[in-house]
Structure 1
């Protein structure tokens, strides 16, 4: 790995660096392009866990580091800003390279790098939203590399999930008699639709279900403006630009993916975390995939007080569940 930046090391009570810990960040070559990666863990003997963020194009490193750093004591955690996202975004990124196939190649390079760094043959994948599509596709293609798979806001049939999300938004607007929302949602019409319509639909959903309330936004202040050395408020520009660029480049392909037909079985244990109030990947669509999925073992855990991001909405419960449920699957 190379590149500027830094992350705080793990310290003993006496102030020394914890032996066999890892705290590294920088750019590494994945799929022929420099991409930003952060690796943190209190003990290299712990199994590696790679977070695959959503979007596509929406880096979640800030959120995960703020709410879920506890996992670094049980796993060697890998945070990756995917091609075109966050710190990996730059204006010269070739649009033609923004394909699902290319992301699978990038992820394979990352897994190989991580395994070499930590001295392991396999990793745990945690896919969130779009990352859950990428994670399952990779696990299906490279089962020898994946010890266990965790999906949060797991997408099965992407088109069905988007249709259910739009229906939910329209119903919420009708219940509230929200004329502006109804006008906007009816104007874009039901999916399939372009990325610009996704942004509109998601924004109205956030307003209607309270995710843009002052209380909800206040909860995120530490993650966005906190003092962690891996990121700064200046990175928010790339966060926004990368998200819009990647969504525009990839949404047509991503929104047509259907794991129910393409990946009906996995060859490693699978765990799904489901936010009961998730209106972006509605729970019934996740359950539809879970019900048909064949795997050596599978578990589904409900987060009753969570929406699309249980790791933000219920971080303590999320962290404990990952440690207990996923940790048990990859125990030495």
Structure 2
């Protein structure tokens, strides 16, 4: 039976939006964990990855405070990374029970790869395979590589004002204006065409959101608000993330990486990949940066589909 479900589920006292689509309710589950934090992606998954419904029941989770799941965080909630791991655990158990399955496939992108790889380490018995896309490895080292890239590019382009500001940036992100500095570096990665490969802005994706039938204007506004608050609440803790010493997993690990990713360094992922001792695979997308699932959607979908076909 075809599955096309969109609803709010109560997950650990928070109403969170879940969308599930697939050609048959007996297909294996694939749970997509979006980036950010707070960077909900439902319209993009619907547009670029819909064909995966032939092989999976695809679950798109709009995390607490993000997109359609937006609400204003309160200090007394003590929102941390563990909050999202707990949400993910509750969601996974609910999905497995609902579809009468023992395990699912997990796909984490960027911030979602922090949640995904953490979950894969803690709950391998619930997962067939983990897919990491734009995989985070070591946040501090990743920021350093971001910074080195934009500084070098700025010097090449004789951007003296930008270079001066970068030279005065504190990468500890403990200063009062840390968010402005963080966003400044990230925007330069975009401007220098290595977040979305060959493009200096996200206009293509912005249009996809605006013209999507799955998002209202209110959803668009809430997505922006949710993204900002999630960064404010979670980024300092996120900077402590380092998977470098996590080299043994009880499930297969597959990294799906854009060759030109300077947003979350794919060369750092390649270095980390070499240290992993368990079954693994690394798939390169030669014409992508940070978003191969949408920059090279056809190849991306084929790679994921082949996992099922070859079983």
* TM superposition score category, shorter chain reference: over 0.9
Please report how far the alpha carbon of residue 106 of structure 1 lies from its aligned counterpart in structure 2 after TM superposition: 0.2
The correspondence for 2:121, drawn from 129, 140, 149, is 140
Deviation string 1:168-213 (CA, Å, 9 cap, x unpaired) is 1111111111234323423433344534322121112211227598
* 1:77 aligned to which of 51, 58, 73: 58
Q: Secondary structure at the match of 2:108?
A: strand
1:166, 1:95 → 2: CA distance? 34
1:114 and 2:98 matched: no
2:256 aligns to what? 273
Q: Deviations over 1:88-109 (max 9, x none)?
A: 1112555643211111110001
1:224 maps onto 2:205 in alignment: no
Shift of residue 254, structure 1, vs aligned partner:
1.0
Q: State the distance in 1 between where 2:270 and 2:199 align.
A: 32
Write the distance in 2 (CA, Å) between the matches of 1:67 and 1:191: 36
1:203 maps to which residue?
187
2:27 to 46, 60, 79: 46
Counterpart Cα distance in 1 of 2:201 and 2:308: 30
* CA shift for structure 1 position 67: 1.1
**1:207 and 1:213 in contact (8 A); partners too:** no
Q: Say whether residues 1:305 and 2:298 are aligned partners.
A: no
Three-state SS of the structure 1 residue aligned to 2:244 is helix
**Preserved CA contact (<8 Å) 1:196 1:248:** no
Secondary structure of residue in 2 paired with 1:274: strand
Q: CA 1:301/1:134 → structure 2, altered by over 3 Å: closer, same or farther?
A: same
Question: 1:7 — aligned with what?
Answer: none
Whether 1:37 and 2:18 are equivalent positions in the alignment is yes
Superposed CA RMSD in Å reads 2.1
Report the TM-score, using the length of structure 1 for normalisation: 0.86
Q: Whole-Å Cα distance in 2 between the matches of residues 152 and 25 of structure 1?
A: 24
3-state SS, counterpart of residue 149 of structure 1 = strand
How far, CA to CA, are the matches of 1:95 and 1:274 in structure 2?
38
- Give TM-score, length-normalised by structure 2: 0.92
- Structure 1 gaps of 5+ residues are 1-19
Structure 2 unpaired stretches of 5+: none
Q: Residue by residue, what CA displacement relative to the aligned partner does 1:239-271 show, whole Å, maximum 9, x if unpaired?
A: 11101100110001111111122x321111111
| Match in the other structure for 2:301 | 319
In 2, the alpha carbon distance for the partners of 1:197 and 1:319 equals 35
Aligned-partner SS, 1:58: coil
Which of 237, 244, 249 does residue 253 from structure 1 map onto? 237
Question: Does the CA-based 8 Å contact 1:147-1:268 persist in structure 2?
Answer: yes
Aligned partner of 2:151 in structure 1 is 170
CA distance in 1, matches of 2:127, 2:198: 39
C-alpha distance in 1, partners of 2:21/2:76? 31
Q: 1:32 to 1:148 in 2, by over 3 A?
A: same
Q: What is the distance in 2 between the residues matched to 1:191 and 1:84?
A: 26
Partner of 1:159 in structure 2? 140
Paired residues of 2:197 and 2:288 also in contact (CA < 8 A)? no
